[in-house]
Amino acid sequence: MSDQSHRLLQTVRRRGLSLAAVLGLALPLGQIGMMPAKAAPKGSLIIGIDETASEYWAEYTQGAQDIANSLNAKLIVVTSNYQGSQLLAQLGAIFATGCDQCALATDPSSNAFVKAVVHRSAMAEVPIVTIWNRPETIHPWDTDPKYWVAHTSFDGVMSGYYQAQALCKALGGHGQIAAIEGVPSTPPAYQRIAGLKKALAECPGVTLLDTEVGDWQETKAQDIARTWIARYGSKLNGIFASNDAMARGAVAALREKNLNGKIPVTGSDGSKVALDMVKSGDMLVTVWNDPVLQGAVSIAIAHAAAVGDIDPAKLSHAQRDFYLKQEVVDKSNVDHFLELKAHAPVYTYAELKADFWKDSAGQIPVGANK
């Protein structure tokens, strides 16, 4: 069993989740017609995730399952594998049989599919909260506003800024770094690179040697870092990775040359492996984005609209398009976040209903998703 599979199994046991809930309803497109031809139970909660082999998405599912458990509701998990067309097909199969008082929280997989996913949900009269991806030109209040309740994400610009600031400080304000970017068409990817460039403008002694696209994937990032080590040698003084999976790949490449801990690496997401590497010194920092909280908040807000606990038309723009709080993790505070990772809060709908926006970091600013 791989380390990642072992961590997912531990998640299932620790949180009391069904294996089906964590792994998701990941049917190939050709098997969509084999889904049971009956309506989803009244009040079902539906989440759309990008992949199953991911600590982040397993923990996002934890948060949604917490809310389902507190409501005694069914949680349905669909997996897009980063394919918006696959997400649409699976949602269509669920909605075709009826979905009374259902609620949906999903990553549409990319900006290109946001409008279609929102409209598919609106046609089924299912309130939807989107996460991560939203084009700059559309918002919950101007696109199917009755059913697109809200959009929530984490501030990618500040994430990239925090990482690059840490690299600048670690290098004493002088050196050369290289950056591994996520999927370029997604807001978190280009936001984090924008944050990197913002920080470098304030630290002119640190320059950007190279940038490559790693598509959020550990193995691609490892290959990229191997190439950089061979090409640049001692000129490479630090590596900025746009997420923790790619940071892991960079650290793995450095470890092959006994350079881990000598060339600082940063990441974002606050995964367990990244936290462990921050503690060991293999990574300099990660940025904590709490997927359990994100899963709980996003599906709870969608459910609130489905049952009439909130009226989207009466919400402010800041309540319908907002960032969640995030924090920088380094050696000075990593033990706190390791403890939080091991003993994540169990959220209830009643608790979140008291203030759905308690952990909001404010409205997503105009231009953030360009």
- Whole-number pLDDT of residue 185: 83
Angle at which helices 291-307 and 55-71 cross, to 10°: 40
Four-CA torsion 136, 114, 319, 141, nearest 10 degrees: 80
- Whole-number pLDDT of residue 38: 74
- Token pair, residue 105, equals 């929280």
The Cα 155–Cα 323 span in angstroms is 6
**Residue located via tokens 């489905």:** 306
* 3-class SS of residue 331: coil
CA distances, 102 to each of 195, 241, 308 (Å):
37, 37, 12
Helices and strands per DSSP (H, E), number in the chain: 14, 13
The Cα 72–Cα 146 span in angstroms is 26
> What are the residue ranges spanned by the domains of the chain?
45-155+291-325+345-363, 157-288
Q: Across 50-204, where does the E strand assignment appear?
A: 75-79, 103-106, 128-131, 148-154, 175-181
- CA nearest to 114, candidates 89, 90, 140, 94: 140
- Domain 157-288: which topology? Rossmann fold (3.40.50)
- Whole-number pLDDT of residue 20: 43
- In CATH, the number for domain 45-155+291-325+345-363 is 3.40.50.2300
- The predicted model scores a pTM of 0.87
- Whole-number pLDDT of residue 53: 84
355 Cα distance to chain centroid? 22
**Residue located via tokens 């990441």:** 267
Give residues with Cβ within 8 angstroms of 113, minimum separation 6. 84, 85, 87, 88, 133
The Cα angle at residue 188 between residues 312 and 86, in degrees rounded to 5? 70
- Whole-number pLDDT of residue 39: 83
Residues in the chain predicted with pLDDT less than 70, given as ranges, are 1-37
The Cα angle at residue 188 between residues 347 and 215, in degrees rounded to 5? 110
- Whole-number pLDDT of residue 37: 52
Give residues with Cβ within 8 angstroms of 195, minimum separation 6. 156, 157, 158, 159, 160, 161, 162, 163, 164
89 Cα distance to chain centroid? 22
Same topology, domains 45-155+291-325+345-363 and 157-288? Answer is yes
